[in-house]
Amino acid sequence: MFDVYCARHRSTVVLFDQNIAALVNGPDDLELHWRCTCGQTGVKRFARRRPRRVEVAVR
């Protein structure tokens, strides 16, 4: 389950895996293309986390 804002419902709705139209893996984010039960479509983006930089002391 995941939630999105649906403009047709004018509220946040909970959707299920069958409401996923596509997953697009980009260089900076993951796009979740969804279709609401009312027919409204949209895209929810998830930003990638940058790898944490680890400082290493050289002796």
Domain containing residue 30:
2-47
- List, for residues 12-29, the tens digit of each pLDDT value: 999 999 999 999 998 889
Burial of 54 from C-beta contacts in 10 A (0-12 / 13-18 / 19+): exposed
Q: Give me the pLDDT at residue 43, please.
A: 97
Q: Are 21 and 41 in contact (CB under 8 A)?
A: yes
Instruction: Classify residue 38 by its DSSP letter.
Output: T
Structure tokens at 11: 């509220």
Q: Between β-strands 2-6 and 11-15, what pairing exists: parallel, antiparallel or unpaired?
A: antiparallel
Q: Give pLDDT, residue 41.
A: 98
What pTM value is reported for the model? Answer: 0.76
| HSE-up of residue 53 (Cα within 13 Å, Cβ side) | 2
Q: For 18, which DSSP code? A: G
10, part of any domain:
yes
What's residue 54's pLDDT? Answer: 75
What total of structural domains would you count in the chain? 1
Asked whether the predicted pLDDT for residue 3 surpasses 80, the reply is yes
Mean pLDDT of 55-59: 76
Mean pLDDT of the chain: 92
Residue 56 lies in a domain: no
